[in-house]
Structure 1
Amino acid sequence: MTWRPADRRRTARTTARRTAPHRAPHPRTGWAITGTGSYLPSRRVPSSDLARSMGLDPGWIEDRTGIRGRHVAAEEEAASDLAAAAGRRALERAGLTPADLGLIVLGTSTPDELGPATACRVQALLGAAGAAAFDVAAACTGFLFGLQAAVGWLATQRGAAPYALVIGVEVYSRFLDPGDRATAALFGDGAAAAVVGPVTGPYGIGPVTLGSDGTRAGDVLIPAGGSRAPAGPGTLSALGHTIHMDARAVRDFIARIFPRLVADASDAAGIKPADLALVVPHQPNPRLVASLAAEAGLEPAQLAIAGRDVGNIGAASLPYALDTAVRTRGIRPGELVLLAGFGAGLTWAHTLITWPPP
């Protein structure tokens, strides 16, 4: 073997590293969720009332989905109003003000308008003048796609406030066909948010793994109102501005993807599903998701199921369940919390959080 000068330099550096006096490692700085909040419109529609309006037995919806009721936005409430209310609560619990924000990321399928970004409306409502703001269109996985965007921004941004607000919000009630059991029985309105900021030590948000399958985009969508099918008399009469869903295809997707997300996240972290203190899934059908616990290697008590009282609130579903768990169950420092999302697109994502101290 021929030794070159570069080889000798590398050998010298390696020897120096091995023999250098021991120094205490610098504490690791990462990014963590430091506050959560949610908002539901005041009007609540019980599933029994909705079932009767559809000519069904009063227990039909709850028996099949586990959903007891959902909330419906008032006529004057838009997605930005719900999102701003949830954001204020998350900031309050994080001990921050809107002036502390450097970024607002909002996930939604039901924006105020096709443009501009609804996140800009939220920025104005909050008075977060120093924050950049944009939307993420990843349907029910939007919160986790937004979380990845926020973490990436925080890790590379220089000079801006080191806090981001990630929000999921939907006003699905404006996009439903009341006669379509497959959708009207499931969807509701609501918003939830999380503040992301710096944390020191072995805590924080792990890698956010994202996935998509655009060949299945037609499984659930609002087909009209965009550039492919602009609004017109034909799209209105065909109810093209309401949610269309292949219920069987979506159900099969959920049954496959949720156990896979739990397995993939656990394998990547070198742990077992039993080691997870809490698993927070998207829950379009709470009964279905809860029924998958055993297949995913989980006990029912490990699942944070909050959709029974709100239905499917899309991009807000997962952060709403997380906020509910924080407020009711509590999450101790060092506990492992898995967030697992999936939705239209098709899209899916997961991240493992080592929960930080308060």
Structure 2
Amino acid sequence: MSQQTISPVAAGASWQDHNIGIAGFGHHFPREVVHNDPDSEVVGNRIDEAVLGQVGVRSRHKSSEDETLLSLAVAAARQAVEDSGVDPAELDLVILTNWTEHVFRPELAPLVATEIGAHGAMAFDLAAGCSGFVLGIQTAAAYLCAPTHHTKALVVSAEQFSRRVRPGSKAEAVAGDGSGAAVITRGGDHRAQLLDSVTHVDGTLVDLTTATPPHGWVKSKPELVEQAAAHISSIVSELLQRNSLALTDVTWLVPHAATRPIIDGILSRTGVPDDKLVTNFEYRGHLSSACVPTVLSEFHAKAHFSPGDTVLTPVVAGGFFSGGLLLRF
């Protein structure tokens, strides 16, 4: 397997040596909630059955015409900033991750920064598919450790995945819309300390998931499930080994939950007990890069995470990207 690794900082160092952490969380979902009827599940083709299996999604959110990607991103961003107690004017950096609603110009991150009052912040967009949030956090952390003297950043992941599936298909019952955000700071008080992060890409697997013109509807190959589960298992092992941890040291696993077969494959390959798995897949659906940050935000708001909890967030994405964050609340 050919992989490219981006290490967090210089050998022997880690993000915690620089006191990098998440100071605030935010999430937002469109108004419309679509409920799936389990008795009238769409019967898919052979590939649908392999990738989607029994859908496993009871409800999901779908954007209306007036709910743009920008409005979703701004809502989550404002909540994260408020939760952090950071003045928006103090933000040095704003990163938006999204691939489902690309625009040519302008990029959306500068618009998010303007909308929330972060007028002095550097701002730009990232893609990397479903792994966008992990790459966004790692990129922000790198900025905060660079000789730019930045101390505060916002990472927001917003996706309208419902627009990237063929209408009437089985995949439509899985795809949801939403946004999640995190304020990451160097120093100060943190909701969660960033212990470590990894990102990889394997270009030999780029054709497992594609979304091409004219519609940009997602198409996946049956091998996606096995490769996704294998890559997530590898990320879990790598982060544990790098930090001299055992699986029993992980309190919660927050994976990118794309489909029920992938979730089952993660549990089988990693050996993580089902009661350690934290997702919102059943009632939010597949949210692409917004999956992990919305889970972190929703469950943080419900006080699900306790001080001292160690959380691992492995992700995979078409591309073929993989990565993960190691956090301690």
* TM-score normalised by length of structure 2: 0.86
Cα drift, residue 320 of structure 1: 0.9
Which residue, 106, 111, 123 being the options, matches 2:113?
123
After superposition, residues 68-79 of structure 1 pair within 5 angstroms as: 68-79=58-69
Cα drift, residue 212 of structure 1: 0.7
Give me the whole-angstrom Cα distance separating, in 1, the residues matched to 2:210 and 2:298: 28
Does residue 45 (structure 1) correspond to residue 19 (structure 2)? The answer is: no
Which residue, 184, 193, 218 being the options, matches 1:196?
184
Which residue identity is paired with 1:85? A
Number of the residue aligned with 1:339? 313
Give me the whole-angstrom Cα distance separating, in 2, the residues matched to 1:28 and 1:138: 27
Unpaired stretches in structure 1, ≥5 consecutive residues: 1-26, 225-239
Which residue identity is paired with 2:227? F
Q: Between Structure 1 and Structure 2, how many residues are aligned? A: 308
Give me the whole-angstrom Cα distance separating, in 1, the residues matched to 2:206 and 2:164: 18
Cα drift, residue 28 of structure 1: 5.2
Q: Deviations over 1:295-353 (max 9, x none)?
A: 31322121111111111111101111111221224323332111111111110001212
Number of the residue aligned with 1:36? 25
Greater radius of gyration (CA): 1
Give me the whole-angstrom Cα distance separating, in 1, the residues matched to 2:315 and 2:229: 13
Distance 1:147 1:71, change over 3 A: same
Contact 1:65 1:288 in 2 (8 A): no
SS of equivalent to 2:230: helix
Give me the whole-angstrom Cα distance separating, in 2, the residues matched to 1:201 and 1:263: 29
Cα drift, residue 55 of structure 1: 7.3
Which residue, 287, 298, 302 being the options, matches 1:324?
298
Which residue identity is paired with 2:316? F
Bigger relative contact order (CA 8 A; separation at least 6): 2
Number of the residue aligned with 1:20? none
Distance 1:184 1:102, change over 3 A: same
Distance 1:299 1:123, change over 3 A: same
Unpaired stretches in structure 2, ≥5 consecutive residues: 1-15
Which residue identity is paired with 2:256? H
Which residue, 157, 181, 185 being the options, matches 2:173?
185
Q: Deviations over 1:35-77 (max 9, x none)?
A: 111000010111218x849579xxx999713211110111012
Which residue identity is paired with 2:87? T
Distance 1:305 1:159, change over 3 A: closer
After superposition, residues 147-166 of structure 1 pair within 5 angstroms as: 147-160=137-150, 162-166=151-155
Give me the whole-angstrom Cα distance separating, in 2, the residues matched to 1:286 and 1:94: 33
Cα drift, residue 127 of structure 1: 2.1
Which stretches of structure 1, 4 residues or longer, exceed 3 Å deviation after superposition?
A: 51-56, 60-63, 157-160, 199-203
Distance 1:221 1:116, change over 3 A: farther
Number of the residue aligned with 1:274? 248
Q: Deviations over 1:243-285 (max 9, x none)?
A: 2322412212222122222112111111111110111110011
Number of the residue aligned with 2:88? 98
Does residue 315 (structure 1) correspond to residue 304 (structure 2)? The answer is: no
Give me the whole-angstrom Cα distance separating, in 1, the residues matched to 2:41 and 2:237: 41
Contact 1:111 1:118 in 2 (8 A): no
Give me the whole-angstrom Cα distance separating, in 2, the residues matched to 1:149 and 1:112: 20
Which residue identity is paired with 1:88? R
Which residue identity is paired with 1:345? G
Contact 2:200 2:321 in 1 (8 A): yes
Which residue, 206, 214, 228 being the options, matches 1:217?
206
After superposition, residues 221-240 of structure 1 pair within 5 angstroms as: 221-224=210-213, 240=214
Cα drift, residue 135 of structure 1: 0.8
